[in-house]
Amino acid sequence: MKRLLIVWHSRTGGAQAMAEAAAADPIAMLRPARDTGPEDMLAADGYIFAGPENLASLSGEMKDFFDRCYYPLLDRIQGRPYAVMICAGSDGTGALRQITRIATGWRLRQIAEPIIICTGAQTADAILAAKIIADSDLARCAELGAGFAAGLLEGIF
């Protein structure tokens, strides 16, 4: 059986909602970054990385996941497909750039355009508030997850 691993981190719920939307297919395994290790990555056939951008960077918990997994997986997962979803206040490209560099080092294969959802949160209160992701954006995340799962099952990826 093929397995799609969705690794996520969220403080305010935005990236979590995105990850949950992408995880509707039965082959998807939804795992918080803090609980995900190299063995989980090795057991999967493809990956979606979903997290927030904090201060123009990948969130610390997502970075910790990559730090713990990078060297144990080097030269062991090359060629596997991946996609990225970022929840950001205004930009998202800093976090995307970091994930892309890590995926390049692992020699993963990007199979979809990244999804970056900007919430517009710019004040302290707005940044710390729970995030509500629009249904249309959640539909994009669900479409990514469903398409990725179908591609794995059909042997496209």
Dist CA 123 CA 149 (whole Å): 37
How do the domains of the chain map onto residue ranges? 4-154
- Render pLDDT for 101-150 as a digit per residue (tens, 0 to 9): 999 999 999 999 999 999 999 999 999 999 999 999 999 999 999 999 99
Predicted pLDDT at 91 = 95
* Digit-coded pLDDT (tens) for 63-85: 999 999 999 999 999 999 999 99
Contacts of 145 (CB under 8 A, 6+ apart): 4, 6, 21, 22, 23, 24, 25, 28, 48
pTM: 0.97
Q: Which fold has domain 4-154?
A: Rossmann fold (3.40.50)
What is the per-residue burial (b if ≥16 Cβ within 10 Å, else e) of 22-59?
Answer: bbebebbebbebeebeeebbeebbbbbbbbbbbeeebb
pLDDT of residue 5: 98
Q: In this structure, what DSSP letter does residue 91 have?
A: -
Q: What is the mean pLDDT of the chain?
A: 97
The predicted-structure confidence for 28-66, as pLDDT tens digits, reads as follows 999 999 999 999 999 999 999 999 999 999 999 999 999
Q: Which two tokens stand for residue 123?
A: 């004040």
